[in-house]
Every structure is written in C-alpha cells, then in structure tokens.
Structure 1
Amino acid sequence: MRKFLFSSSLLILAAAQAHAAPEAAPAPDAMGGDIIVTAQKREQRITDVPMSISAYGSGFLDQIGGTELSKISAITPGFVIQLQDKFAPGFSVRGITSNEFSPQAEQRVAVFQDGVAVVQTASAYGELFDIDRVEVEKGPQSTLHGRSALNGGVSIFQKRPTDDLSVELKAGGGNYDYYSLQGVVNLPVSDTLGIRFGALKRKRDGFVKDSDGSGTYNALDAQAYRFAGKWEPTSDFSFNLIATYDVDDTKGGVPFKSRTFLPLDQTTGAVVGDLRFWTPTHLDTFGTLPSPYFHREIVGISGTADWRLNDRLSLTSISGYRWFDACQSGDNDGTPTNLIAYHQCNDGKQYSEELRLNFKDVGIFEGFIGGSVFHANNGMSMEMGYDERAMALLLGGTLQNLAPRGLTNAEINALLGPAANVLKAFQLDQQITGAKITTYDIFADVTAHLTDRLELFAGARATWDKKDLTLQGLTPLGPSSLTGGGLLLQPTPGNAVLTGSNSSSNVTGRAGLRFKLTPDVNLYAVYGIGKRPEVLQLNPTTPAQLIPTETLKSTEAGVKFRLLGGRLVGDASVYHYEYENFQTLGLKDGIVATVNAGKADATGFEAQLSYELTPGISVFGSYGYNHARFRAGLYDGNMFRNSPDHKFAIGGNFEAPLKGGTVAFAPLYSWQSKMFFFEDNDRLDLQQRVPAAYSDRVVDEFQNGYGLLSARITFTPRDKKWSFALVGDNLTDKKFLVDAGNTGDYFGIPTFIAGSRRTYRAEFGVTF
C-alpha cells in the first residue's frame, strides 16, 4: 500500500495541470496569535474572519503535547469529542453531535482532511501526525464547506514541503508500555519540486485490565504514513498533493463494563471484580464471533490545484479520494457471562471534485463561486450473537432480578432445567446495509467592502442529493428458537435484499457584516441556515421511513481583537440557534428506531484569549457556555447528549534559559460540567419499558463535572538540533466516563466505558 501511494503520488504530480492555493503561514507557539486560516476559502488572519473559529498551529500543538484530537477539543469552547474508541468517536459542536454509523448517515459536524470531506464516523478519527494546523469552525458552515457541516466543521491540514532539506526523528516511551517512533524527511528535489514523507508508530496498553491477566481493553496500536508533494513550475501555477495511510490493529476491544452484574469466574462462580467502571473485568465474544479486536485501514488522497489567471482571478481545484475498511468485535453486555456480543464492519470508498473561481478587487467585491460533485459507496455488516438460554432469562426479566451477582452460564442452564436443551448456545443475527450516494453542489460567497471599515457578506449553496440503499437481514444459523426470527436484528422476508432510492435538494446560506472598530478590533454579526438532508430509512419488516430534513437557524455576534502589537489576541461571541426535526435513536413501540425529537434551541457564549506577557512567557484560556435544550416532544426540557453547559481551559508556556539551552514548562487544565450520553438524560419516566424488568432503575448514565490536568517540560539546546521532553496527561488520575448506556440499556443492564487514566511519557527528538 505504501509503495502504491508513493508511486501514484509521483504520477499525479507529473500529470498536474493547475496551481495549488498558497500555503498558510506558520502558527506561533501561543494559541491564536497571528495564525493564518482558510475558513473562507482564502488566506486570512484569524482575527479578520467574521465567524467563530478556533485554530491551532503545529508549534502550539507541540507545546501542549497535542497528539490527539481529544486534546484539541479539551481547550476549544463549544467543542466536545466523545472518544470511546477510534471506531466510534462522537464529535459535538455547540451541543449537536455526530457519531452515526449507517452507510447513508449525514454527519452534523463535518471533518475535513486537506479539503476533502470525511463522511463516515468510523474513519473520522485518525492520527495527528506532521500537522500544519487544525481549524474548528462553529455554527452552520454548509455554505462554505457543504457535506454535513450542519453546525460546524473540523479541518485538518498536513504540512507541505518546504525549501529546506531536513530530517526529523522522534522516539518516546511511557507507562502502560507506551512507545512511539516517528520520522519525517523533507526533500527539495529541484527549484520547482519538493516532497515530504513521514512514518509514525504508536502503541500502548489499555486502561482497563483483564481480570485473568491476559491483556487489557481499549489498547492502542497505530501506524500512520504521510506523503506530500509540491510542484511550482511557474509563479502562476502549482500543485499540492497529500496522501495519508493509517492502520490500527489492536486486541481486547472496548472496555464495556456492567454496573448491574458483577464479573464472575465462569468455572468456579467466584466474583472476580466489582461494579466500578475502571477496575478489571473479563470480556469476550463467543460462538463464531471473533475475539474482541479493532482493525482499520484508511487511505486518503487530496490534490489541490490553483491557477492564478491574473491579479483578480484564480481557479482552484480540489480532487479527493478516500477509502477505508474498519472492523470491530466486542462483548457489549459488559460481563464474563455469555449474553450478547457483536462484530461490526464498515467500509467505504468516495471520490470528490470541487472547482472554484476566486475573485478579488472586482470593484468593491471579493469572494468565490463554484461547484462540486461527490460520490460514495458505503457498506456495513452488523452481526449480533446471543446465548439463547441466557437471553431467555434476560428477556423475561429473571436475570435482572438476580443482580448484582447474576449467574454463570452453567447456573443459567441449571435454572432453566430441561428447557435449556431446546435453546441454542449461540444464535446469530446479521444485517447488511449499503448506500450509494451522489451529490452535486453549486455555491457562491461574496463580500462587499462598502468602506475601509465596513463589509457585508452573503453566500448560498444549493445541493442535490441521490441515495440508493440496500438492506438484507439474515439469521445465518437459522431462526431463533425464542422468537422464530431474529432477536435484536430482524431478517428480511425470505432473506431478500430490500432496495430503496431517494432524491432530495436543499438550499443553505449565510449573511452578515464585519465592522473594523479600530485596525485591530473587529465586530461581526452573522446569520446562517444549515440543513441535514432527508433520509430514507429501510426497515426489515415494516415500510420504509422517510426521515425529514433537519434545519438549524443560527444567529451570532462577536468581537475579535489583536492588541499590544499582536501579543494579546482573542475573541468573544454570543449566539442563539433553533433546531427543527432533530433525529436520534430511541425505543419506538418496543423497537430501537429513529425518533424525531422535534424542536430544540440553544443560547451560548464563547471566549478565548492568548497573551504573551514577555518573550518566553505566555498564557491562554477559553470558556464556553452552551444552554442547549429540547423544546418539544418526548425529550422536552432535556439536555443534548455530549453537551456540557460549561467548559473552560487555562494554560501557559513558561520558558527560562539554562546553561546550554532553554527549558519550557507548559501546564494545561481543562474542565467541563455535567454531561449526559443520551437525549433521554436517563430519566426514569423515559426508562419505563415492557416488560418492566427492562426498565432502568438507576439514574447513572452521565458524567459529573470534572477537570483534567496535563503538563509538558521540554529542554532545547541553543542550536535547536535536539530536544527532550516529559509529558503527562490526566496527572491527577481522574476517573471519568466517556460513554454509558449502549446496547444493554435497552434491557435495563447499561454498560459504562472508562476514559483515559494518568499517562506519562518521555520524548527525544533530533533534527538534521
């Protein structure tokens, strides 16, 4: 695969016919500063962009030890990442979350890799390696970014080749048997051609141990490869190519932990653990399902080309290809007893092309017009396995009543007596879904500079979308002895492949103004409309369901400033949005299905600030308040999931000279208030189910407010040829949840997933 990426890259470089957008200037070491962003499809200083945006350059990411997107979310107001694992990350911006897995899913928070949309959740969370910058844009961004940027976008940009020959090597090691190795080579081939390539390997044991001593859960074993090429044959013509390849391959799976049933030794019946979500347990699949694991491969290629036609016009093309294959298995009842297990695989292949004409100094106007096409072919296979004998007691409510000890599988069989002989030790349901998606967009955004201090802007995007869907439900080992069909996943009639097709169109837009109060203080206001297109949902045994378009209307106003010669940089904003037809999962007539939660609204305030007190001493901080609530229907008054009302971070970088070099200390503390993991907020009145044993009797599927402390100490010699750093995360070893509920919640036996524990590592880097 790596040879394929390298050879393909050279071929594309040789065949390029256009010119890449100018490279953004490097970011300073403090948060914010004079960082240059491209959120409005042109290079701008962040304080001149009339929208809420947080951006971080490579220097700042190194300063805070930012090797994970979750570290970026910790310091960004209004941005939360729920990271139970890389297969199922949840991205939330101002309370609106995306973590859906169906092949046709439209994410509410878009992720972009070098200008190319990442539309499937299972491939959205990759390695932050050799990064130039990360931009987090909040509010409806459909006009600027299209595909699923309903309420924001996260844009990741790789470093591009520079004119200097360099080699960067880094190695690290830490607790939980952590180690990392990485290398980057920057090679200027000629005056017009440069290439850059790198490789990364990271490995770490998981934070929850297996009670039998055989391993851990939620471990890390990742590889990442990066290639960048830049060709500039003339001053008006260049081409940039980015190719990425990520591999994850871990054993152990997700640490689903039951707080209903104690873990039991299946041979002796002895209790081998407790109900705390961070302590050892034993989890495994059974039957034909593979042991818990996670394997994923992602290939991404982005070719950005730009041709400067004249001083006023430039033509930009972004061509994208992305392929991924991800599989995971696990024990989602959270106990050593064989109840329920799963094996899920998602895959996808997509192509995209965007062509954009940028213009400036056309009278008082600047902006862009363009069009794009996107095509994807996505698939998912979900297998659910059960021990029918255990499920007979679970579905009847007997097993829940035996909590907290529960039963071993041998005790379950003994309790059933002769009835156990007619039930299967392993029953398998399977559901295979697919979606072919084709989308066309036309878009435009124009800024009018009415005076030297006042500008108005407006933009719109029209989208035409077609989806062809397939659904097949199977019981590969025959129908269930309990139901005569499937248990949690129902077979389609005669195991037939159901098909459906749906076409839709949407128009989104934004309008606003920016006013220069002074040359270094900007006021802005913007109104935007974002939409998530309607979706046709196929069902195995009932008619197809058309899920209506979700609509978000947002109003925002703010101030951005750059004072004291650029040493003090920050912004503050207030916003209000209204949401219609919010779709989520819930119980409908006893079946897990899409539920229209109706209307919601939110009012919020966000601020961020960085201040360089003296050369070598800087501080930064951020705060976000987001009061997001449902306003109608089943969840009236509830909080959005993954949406704390309050969130703040504070940190700094303090440098001091030492003999032969400089030592730097960079502490960071982040905190967020109480957060629920599902829109029902674990309310007991919404947990009343039939039979009554399914009802969740305890309100515990939330995470109370908590804070995390991290720090980095670095020594760099005067010649800056090498560095040594000590890095620590969650230094107080705070025990917190990243998810709760899951499959077991529908049977009154919710499971809980622990967050990361205290980690520390040493890193040594050298540059040639």
Structure 2
Amino acid sequence: MPIAVNAFSSDMVETRRISDIQSLSTSVPGFSINSLSKSRLNPSLRGGSSSLVSAGAEQAVGLFIDDQYFGGAGDFEIDLFDIERIEVLRGPQGTLFGRNTTGGSINVVTRRPSKKTEGKFEATIGNYDAIEARGYVSGPLAGNLFGSFAVSSRDRDGTSRNITTGNRIDNTNRASFRGKLLWEASPDLDIIATVGYSRADETGPARDSIFTSTPPTNQSLIDFGFVPDNDPRVVQQASDSSFKSRQWTGNLRAEYKLPDAALLSVTTYRDFSSKEGKVSLVGVPVPTFDLGEPRSAESFSQELRYTSDYDGPFNWVGGLYFFYSDETRNTNVTTAWNQETFGGVVQSITFCPLQTLEDFDNGVVTPACVANFPGLFGPNDFHVNERNRTTSYSAFVDGNYEPFEGFTLLGGLRYTHDKKKFNVDIGGGPDFFWNPPTSTDIDPMTGLPFIGQTAANSANWSKLTYRIGFQYKPTDKIMVYGTRSTGFRSGVFDGAQSDPTLVVKPVGPESATSHELGLKSRWFDNRFQLNIAVFNVEYTDLQFFISSPTSSVSTNAGKARVRGVEVEAVASITDYLTLSANYSHQDGTSSGIPPEAEITPGTAPQGTIPNTYMVAADFEYPLGNGDSFSAHVDLTHKDRYGLEFNDAPQFSSRTKSLVNASLNYKLSSGFEFSIWGQNLTNENIIVYGNDLWFASYSLAAALTDPAILTDVKQPRYSAPRTYGATIRYSF
C-alpha cells in the first residue's frame, strides 16, 4: 500500500493493552493527544491538529469504526474492543474515507461473525482496585445466519486524590457491548447488521495546581485555602465533577459480488449524549474558573462504493457518500474573580464606571466598585448553548494504472459539498472573559450587560481534493512510492465568538497539501522489514482558537508547514525473538498568524513532536507439551512539544521513558495467564496544561516578579503506573 500506515493486529492490540485512543497514541510515532477533560480529546498527526471544540467542529484526525465516522472533540473518549485490526493512516486523507481529514485517519475494524463457534473471555484485576472483563462469542445460528456478541467492562478507582472533598477522582467506570448478525443471503450477497452500546459514569479529571512552592514576599498568592504540595496525584479542586455518557450505534453493511467487482453499501446511525459537571481549570479549593461541556450528537451516513477487480492494468474504487449530523454543545462556566487578583482588576475595569486607568495600572480594585457591584466578584454563571446541523454530500474515485510490470500510476479525486446551520444561545452574568459589555447591550439602569442573546447563521463550502502519485516495485520485496495528496477540514462556527451585532461568523475550511516519498521493503528472507517515509505537509487557512486574559480568538488565517521523516524497522532475530523500532522526526513552523492571537512567528502547530523514539521486543517460546511462554516490553520517548498552538511552557509535554511490559503463559487447553504493567517508570505525562495565573495572583505581584507567569500551571496528567494480572480462556 503506497501510504504511511501503522497497523495493529488483534494480538498486538491485546498484548499492548490498547483499550482507547489515548493508549493507542503511545504506540504510534508522531501521534499525540491533548485532553482538557473527558469531553475534549484533540488528536494530532504530522502537525494536523485542532483546538476547536464547538458544535460541528471536526478534528484534523478522523476516527472510523467499521466505516462509521467519529470526528468531534467529544467523540474520541471511546472504548476499543472486539478488534480485528487498527490502521493509523498518516497524512491528509481526501479521496477515499467518508470524511476528509488533514492530519490522518484511524481506521478500526471489528471482528466479523465466524462460521464456526469460537470465543474468548478475560478477567483482569489491578492496582487502584481495577476490575476489567472482556469477551466475545461468535458462530453459526441457523442456516446461513451467523452472529457474534462482544462485551467490555472497565472499573478502576481514581488515580488522584482530591483532599478538598476527600475522594479519589479521575476514575474509570464504563461498559460497552456490540452485537452482529451476518446473513449470507446468496453466494454473492453478504449482509451484516451491527448494534452497539456504551456508557460511562465517572468523576471528572484531576487537575493539579502548581504554584511556586515558597512564594517570595513580593508575590501575593491569594489565599484560596490552597496548600502547596509536591505530589502531582494529590489535587485540591473545589469539586470532584462528573462525566456521564451513553451512546447507541447502528451499522448495516451489504456487499454484492460481481464477476469482476464488488458493490458495497454502508449505512450508519449514531445517538450520543453526555452530561459533565463543571471541571476546575485552576485546581484550587474554591470555585474560580470552572467549566463543563455536556454534548449530544445524532448522525446518519450512507455510502455506496464500487471496487473493481479487473484482470487488466487498470482498477479503481468509486462511490457516493452522504453524512448528516445534529450536534449540541452546552458550555457552562462559573467564574469567581477575587478582587485582589489580576482577573478581578480586569473585571472591575471592564464593568465599573468609577474604575480608573490609574487603578488598573496599580493593580487595585476601588472600594466603590466592590460596593456598587459585588456580584462582579462572586461566583458568576454563564452559558454558551450551541447547536450545529451538518449536511454533506461527496463523490469520489480513486484508481491505479500499471503501464508496465512493477510500475503503477495512482490518482484520485473527491468532491465534497458541506452545509452547516448553526445557532447559539448566550447568557449569564457579566464577565470580562465570557460576557463583556458592548455598545449595543448595556442596561442603562445598572451599567451592566443585558443577560442573554441569540444568534444564528449558515454557510456552504465545497472542495475538490485529490491524490496523484506512483509506486514502483523493482522486486517483490521492495516498493518505492511518491504521492501528492490534499485534504481539508470543513468550516465551523463558534458561538463564543458571536459579535456585538449578534452575528456568529463562520471560520472557513482548513486545507492541507502533502508530498511524501516512501520505501517499503523486506530483506533476509523476510526476516527484516524496513519502511521509510519522508514528508512535507503545508496547511493553509488555519483554524484555531486562542485565549488569553484579555482576548479570545477563533479564526481562520495563516499557514503552517511540517516536514519530517518516519522510520519503522522489524527484525526477526530468531524464531522466538522479534525486535522492532520506530522513529519519527517532525519540524514545524507557522506564519501569517494575526497578532491578536499572541502566537510567536514560527511556532510549530500543536502536537508537532520533534523526535519520537519507540523500541519493543517480543519473545515467544513454544514448550513441548503444547503450552507457550511469551513476553513483551516497549519503551517510548518523546521530545518536548506543544499541546496547544502557542509557545507557553505550561502547554508543553514530553515523555522521557514510558515503559510497558507483560509476561504471558498460554496453556494448550485454551487458558492464558498474564501479568502486565504500564507506565512502569511512573512518569507524570501532561496531556493538557493551563496558565491561569491571572486567577491566582495580583497584577502587582506579576509586575514585581514576572517569573510567576511561568511558575504557575494547572496540568492534567495521563495515568500513573498501573499493573495487574489477566486470565483468558479461548475456544
């Protein structure tokens, strides 16, 4: 296949304990995740990334499960189970998959019902009182009807302790099932019907608040009852928050075989909803800046695909695709700007008629402002309720032509037309960050903004994306290829950016153009595999959202470039030992970003990891009695990189040496026993960061000691060291 891809078989998924998108990211070089909360997960590949989370916003990396599209920031918190294979395709995907992407696609294929009775069940116990159960059973039902049923359940105590409430948080409590029916209606017609369900009922994420441990006297950390500590797994949040979700999916797949081709129809339906308590972004014992984003989504898609299998030199795939979604996002915010903090000063300058510029410069809120408008500084609730409806039509064709043996020309086109209808309801108390005053919505009796406004808009976008290239096979063990491919992310609205005239403006599509040269090869009687890809991706009309204490920007401007190299090597050292190594280098830059976005020229797009190193060893030894012993260990290192499209140190992450390992003993009777450990080095890997110093320090303190601007951070971490034991039975 002339494309850069990381493929994982069902055995690899099981051995590496890939159970969700976060755990998948640690096995793919150059792949990163940032996650502010359980309703926000933003993946990045080759610099293709996004921070946009409004209703209808689509991520740069798309997730497809049995050709069903999951593309919003709230769609990636999903269990992966009953897996046949996972393919991570790197680079723009603009000619074949259901929705265009700029960074790449994650293609998950689940097990097909089998024609003979088989199954596997497993149970796991681990630290943090973890209890997991998974399994599937598959086989014939009656005549030409076959079925399968798979379940997954994961329950684990929180990996952090909130000393404000005394509870453990960041726990796991979720369950899923998937049922399939396969009807072989005729020798040429197969129909597969799938129904899936998943639910989660968990606390919110843990957010550690890190201040200078012993603040100098010229700093004035406001007393929130916060006591500095050195334990990243001990937090002091005002509440534990909560996250609950449920999802139903349906998939009807019909394939009809022609003499020299196949016709495929894929119909999908999805119904998702979540409830999320407000998550503390500052991580202090009183409400300061807390945010919740419950969501819902209902979607339908229909694809018709023709795949040829001609004897001649030309073959092609073509089809039509329709997608509709109705998505809501309800952002609920509580702010409490302590009058002594910089946030309190900005709040007073924004709303108090008596506040003077001199007071602002001195970092002082006047007593008159506090007396006349006390509600400005207490807990203040605000909401942005969004609804987006997307209707998309596309037609695609992708073919290959072999003019002479070993050399193939590649080409593909896809035309997409998207229409989005958006409306938003905004309301709540006055807040400089969320609800500042304007000349058109001030109440003359109070001098404060009116509560509530609505806005609506719609837009259409059309785009032609393409792929051209070649592949050359000088031998059956060596292939070189080159491609130029394009992709785009559809336009989007952001309700939080509605302007004073009550108009919500669209952010246009983001486009990507990629050039890639690659080598795929096998050597030494197939005992050594070497794949190399060199790429250059250019992004134009960037979509991004940037916030600061004084402004927030959701815009569509500028460009970025990411170039790099990816190397994959697999060596069968002996019949029992396999070593593998992956390396990724990415170099990113940007230009033309508006100054108000406060992005330093040349900043790399979020998720652009300079260097990623991965090594792994797999050992399997068969015993004379039919049993076998196997072991796996892998190590990952990632250089420091930005989780967001800025260069603030609070938004950076790195992985020094993440180590996962397992030991397995498999009996001929079908039983298997495993002990395993993940993140054995117990690294505190940051998956999101905040720099809300203005909610904790006074302006005077910041001016006196600017170091606090980088010493204050509120990170969220991935899971610490976990370990356990698993028993499996297969038949």
**TM > 0.5 fold call:** yes
* 3-state secondary structure, aligned to 1:306: strand
- Equivalent-residue separation in structure 2 for 1:356 and 1:52 (angstroms): 23
Name the structure 2 match of 1:257.
Answer: 208
Kept in 1, the 8 Å contact 2:197–2:247? The answer is yes
Name the structure 2 match of 1:495.
Answer: 452
Name the structure 2 match of 1:404.
Answer: none
- Equivalent-residue separation in structure 2 for 1:354 and 1:425 (angstroms): 52
Q: Please report how far the alpha carbon of residue 536 of structure 1 lies from its aligned counterpart in structure 2 after TM superposition.
A: 4.5
* 3-state secondary structure, aligned to 1:335: coil
Name the structure 1 match of 2:355.
Answer: none
* 3-state secondary structure, aligned to 1:395: helix
- Answer yes or no: is 1:461 the counterpart of 2:414: yes
Kept in 2, the 8 Å contact 1:273–1:279? The answer is no
Name the structure 1 match of 2:640.
Answer: 674
Kept in 2, the 8 Å contact 1:655–1:665? The answer is yes
Name the structure 2 match of 1:608.
Answer: 568
- Equivalent-residue separation in structure 1 for 2:549 and 2:660 (angstroms): 47
- Equivalent-residue separation in structure 2 for 1:389 and 1:558 (angstroms): 56
Match of 1:366 among 306, 315, 319: 315
Q: Please report how far the alpha carbon of residue 700 of structure 1 lies from its aligned counterpart in structure 2 after TM superposition.
A: 4.0
- Equivalent-residue separation in structure 1 for 2:475 and 2:150 (angstroms): 44
Alignment of 1:699-738 (within 5 A): 699-719=649-669, 721-738=670-687
Kept in 1, the 8 Å contact 2:510–2:541? The answer is yes
Kept in 2, the 8 Å contact 1:84–1:755? The answer is no
Q: Please report how far the alpha carbon of residue 746 of structure 1 lies from its aligned counterpart in structure 2 after TM superposition.
A: 8.6
Name the structure 2 match of 1:76.
Answer: 28
Deviations 1:603-656 (A, max 9, x none): 110011222223332121111111111134343211222221101211111123
Q: Which moved more, 1:542-551 or 1:524-533?
A: 542-551
Alignment of 1:434-445 (within 5 A): 434-445=387-398
Structure 1's unaligned 5+ residue stretches are: 1-48, 264-268, 286-290, 400-411, 683-698
Name the structure 1 match of 2:444.
Answer: none
- Equivalent-residue separation in structure 2 for 1:457 and 1:465 (angstroms): 27
Name the structure 2 match of 1:531.
Answer: 488
Q: Please report how far the alpha carbon of residue 589 of structure 1 lies from its aligned counterpart in structure 2 after TM superposition.
A: 10
Name the structure 2 match of 1:101.
Answer: 53
Name the structure 2 match of 1:225.
Answer: 177
- Equivalent-residue separation in structure 1 for 2:5 and 2:437 (angstroms): 42
- Answer yes or no: is 1:433 the counterpart of 2:363: no
Q: Please report how far the alpha carbon of residue 446 of structure 1 lies from its aligned counterpart in structure 2 after TM superposition.
A: 1.2
- Equivalent-residue separation in structure 2 for 1:212 and 1:80 (angstroms): 32
The 3 A distance-change label for structure 1 pair 655 and 536 is: closer
Alignment of 1:480-491 (within 5 A): 480=430, 486=435
Match of 1:326 among 268, 274, 279: 274
Q: Please report how far the alpha carbon of residue 123 of structure 1 lies from its aligned counterpart in structure 2 after TM superposition.
A: 1.9
Alignment of 1:652-671 (within 5 A): 652-657=617-622, 660=625, 661-671=627-637
- Answer yes or no: is 1:556 the counterpart of 2:512: no
Kept in 2, the 8 Å contact 1:641–1:681? The answer is no
Name the structure 2 match of 1:645.
Answer: 610
Q: Please report how far the alpha carbon of residue 519 of structure 1 lies from its aligned counterpart in structure 2 after TM superposition.
A: 0.9
Q: Which amino acid aligns with 1:653?
A: D
- Equivalent-residue separation in structure 1 for 2:92 and 2:420 (angstroms): 23
Q: Please report how far the alpha carbon of residue 164 of structure 1 lies from its aligned counterpart in structure 2 after TM superposition.
A: 2.0
Kept in 2, the 8 Å contact 1:581–1:597? The answer is yes
Kept in 1, the 8 Å contact 2:207–2:235? The answer is no
Name the structure 2 match of 1:190.
Answer: 142
Structure 2's unaligned 5+ residue stretches are: 215-222, 349-364, 442-448, 594-598, 697-708
Deviations 1:643-673 (A, max 9, x none): 2110121111112345752221101111110
- Answer yes or no: is 1:540 the counterpart of 2:498: yes
Q: TM-score normalised to the size of structure 2? A: 0.86
Kept in 2, the 8 Å contact 1:493–1:540? The answer is no
* 3-state secondary structure, aligned to 1:635: coil
* 3-state secondary structure, aligned to 2:69: strand
Q: Which amino acid aligns with 1:255?
A: A
The 3 A distance-change label for structure 1 pair 437 and 397 is: closer
- Equivalent-residue separation in structure 2 for 1:601 and 1:745 (angstroms): 33
- Equivalent-residue separation in structure 1 for 2:341 and 2:230 (angstroms): 27
Match of 1:739 among 670, 674, 688: 688
Kept in 2, the 8 Å contact 1:239–1:305? The answer is yes
Deviations 1:684-735 (A, max 9, x none): xxxxxxxxxxxxxxx443224512001000011133x101100101111122
* 3-state secondary structure, aligned to 1:71: helix
Alignment of 1:577-616 (within 5 A): 577-587=537-547, 590-596=550-556, 598-616=558-576
- Answer yes or no: is 1:313 the counterpart of 2:267: no
- Equivalent-residue separation in structure 2 for 1:374 and 1:495 (angstroms): 33
Q: Which amino acid aligns with 1:141?
A: Q
Kept in 2, the 8 Å contact 1:318–1:355? The answer is yes
* 3-state secondary structure, aligned to 2:603: coil
Q: Please report how far the alpha carbon of residue 495 of structure 1 lies from its aligned counterpart in structure 2 after TM superposition.
A: 3.2
Name the structure 2 match of 1:628.
Answer: 588
- Equivalent-residue separation in structure 2 for 1:510 and 1:65 (angstroms): 35
- Equivalent-residue separation in structure 1 for 2:375 and 2:492 (angstroms): 41
Name the structure 1 match of 2:445.
Answer: none
Deviations 1:333-376 (A, max 9, x none): 21112212222211110000011111232642101121111111
Q: Report how many aligned residue pairs link the two structures.
A: 677
* 3-state secondary structure, aligned to 1:75: coil
* 3-state secondary structure, aligned to 2:472: strand
The 3 A distance-change label for structure 1 pair 212 and 494 is: closer
The 3 A distance-change label for structure 1 pair 483 and 124 is: closer
- Equivalent-residue separation in structure 1 for 2:549 and 2:338 (angstroms): 25
Q: Please report how far the alpha carbon of residue 68 of structure 1 lies from its aligned counterpart in structure 2 after TM superposition.
A: 3.2
Alignment of 1:295-306 (within 5 A): 295-306=244-255
Alignment of 1:26-425 (within 5 A): 49-83=1-35, 85-212=37-164, 214-251=166-203, 253-260=204-211, 273-274=227-228, 276=230, 278-285=232-239, 292-310=241-259, 312-329=260-277, 330-361=279-310, 363-387=312-336, 394-396=343-345, 425=378
Q: Please report how far the alpha carbon of residue 429 of structure 1 lies from its aligned counterpart in structure 2 after TM superposition.
A: 0.6
Match of 1:504 among 442, 461, 465: 461
Q: Please report how far the alpha carbon of residue 131 of structure 1 lies from its aligned counterpart in structure 2 after TM superposition.
A: 0.7
Deviations 1:176-227 (A, max 9, x none): 1111122322131134211110222111122221125722221111111111
- Equivalent-residue separation in structure 1 for 2:339 and 2:198 (angstroms): 39
Name the structure 2 match of 1:568.
Answer: 528
Kept in 2, the 8 Å contact 1:75–1:622? The answer is no
Q: Please report how far the alpha carbon of residue 421 of structure 1 lies from its aligned counterpart in structure 2 after TM superposition.
A: 5.6
